[in-house]
Amino acid sequence: MGTRKHRPGARAAVALAAVGIAAFAFAAWPIFPVVLASRVLHAAASCIVSFAIVSLSLGLAGPAGMSERLGRNAAFASAGTGIAAAVMGVCGQYLSSRAVFFLAAALVVPALFALTQIRAQEIRPAAASPHRGGKGRGKSLKASVAGLAVLARNRSLVIFAGCIAMFHLANAAMLPLAASMVTLRSSQAATLMVAAAVIVPQITVTVLSSWMGGAAQRWGRRPFLILGFGMLAVRAFLFSLTTDPHLLVLFQVLDGVSATVLGVLVPLTVSDLARGSGHFNLAQGLIGCAMGVGASVSTLLAGVVTDSLGSYAAFTTLAAVAAAGLVLITLTMPETKPAEDR
C-alpha cells in the first residue's frame, strides 16, 4: 500500500521534470527536430501532471472534500498562469524570447519542491484509491480494455464525455478566431487586446473558483454545468455580432465563468461517476480524450468555415455547436452529487 500512495506524486514529479526538460531544450536548441520533440514531450507531460494533481487532490481531501479542494486548485492554477504570463512577457520584452523558455524550465524547481512537501501519511488510503478492487488497476493492455468496457457501460459517464467534447468543439477555436479578427482590424492594438483577452478569463477564474467549489458541494453539479455551457453559447453568439476589440475583451468574462465551471466540475463529476468502479484515473483519461478530440476538430471546423464563408459564419457555427451542447447537457445529464452528500 505504501508504494501505491507515492504513485501520483512520483508521476507528477517525473512529468514536471519532463516539462522543464522540454522548455530548456526548446530554448537551447531551437531547431525543428528539437522543437517538435519538445512540443510532444511537453504535451504528454502536461496531461500526466493534470491527472496526477487531481489524483493527489482526491487522496488529500477525500471524496467529501474534493469539491472545495478542486475550487482552490483552479484558483491557484489561474493565478499562477496569469502571474507567469506577465513575468514571461516582461522577460520576452526586455531580455529575449528564448529567456521565456529558460524561465519556464526554472519554474519547475519550486514546483518540485512544493510536491516534496506532501507527506505519504497525509494521503488517505481510502480516498487515494476509493475504487480499489477494480479490475482496471493492472498495467496490462487486457486490464485497460476491461476497464474501458466497464466505463462504456456507465451511461452517465459516456453522456458526460459527449457533452465535454461538444463544449471544446465550440470553445477551442473561438479565441484564436477572435484574435485573428482583431489583428486584421488593428494590428497595432492586436497584441495588447489579445493579451487582455487571455488575462481577463484568468482573473475571473481566480476570483470565482474557490466559491464554485463550495457551491457545487452545496447545490450540486448539474446547475453549474448548465451555467458553464450556457455562458459558452452566449459568448459565441456575441462574438458573431461584433469585431470591436474592446467588446471582445469584455465578452471574455463569460469565458472565465465557463473556465471556472469546467475547471472545477469536470474532475469533480468524473470523481462522482467513477466512484466505486475502480477506474477513476481511466475515467479521467476518457474525458481528457474527449476534450482533445473536440478541441482538435474545433480548429479544423472553424478554419474550413472561415475560408469558405467568413469569420461571422464561423462564429455562428461555433455558437450553434455550443447551443447543441447546452441542450444535450440539459436534457441528458443527471445530477451526479452522491446521495449521501445531498
Tens of pLDDT, residues 21-38: 999 998 888 888 888 898
Q: Provide CATH code, domain 139-337.
A: 1.20.1250.20
The answer to whether 83 and 156 are in contact (CB under 8 A) is no
**For residues 288 and 285, what is the distance between their CA atoms, to the nearest angstrom?**
5
Average pLDDT over residues 293-322: 91
Average pLDDT over residues 196-217: 87
Say yes or no to pLDDT of 259 above 50.
yes
Give pLDDT, residue 151: 81
Lookup: cell for 139:
498495467
Domain boundaries, the chain: 1-128, 139-337
Give pLDDT, residue 8: 59
Amino acid identity at 155: R
**For residues 57 and 52, what is the distance between their CA atoms, to the nearest angstrom?**
8
Tens of pLDDT, residues 128-144: 444 444 444 445 667 66
Contacts for 89 with CB less than 8 Å, ≥ 6 apart: 195
Give pLDDT, residue 135: 45
Say yes or no to pLDDT of 243 above 90.
no
**For residues 1 and 67, what is the distance between their CA atoms, to the nearest angstrom?**
25
* Residue from 124, 7, 125, 126 nearest 60 by CA: 124
Higher pLDDT: 243 or 53? It is: 53
Tens of pLDDT, residues 57-116: 887 877 777 888 888 888 888 888 878 877 877 787 777 778 888 888 998 999 899 888
Give pLDDT, residue 137: 46
Distance between alpha carbon 321 and the CA centroid of its chain, in Å? 19
Give pLDDT, residue 191: 65
Q: Is 183 exposed, middle or buried (0-12, 13-18, 19+ CB in 10 A)?
A: middle
3-state DSSP call for residue 132? coil
Q: What is the Rg, in whole angstroms, of the alpha carbon atoms belonging to the chain?
A: 21
Give pLDDT, residue 131: 44
**For residues 236 and 295, what is the distance between their CA atoms, to the nearest angstrom?**
15
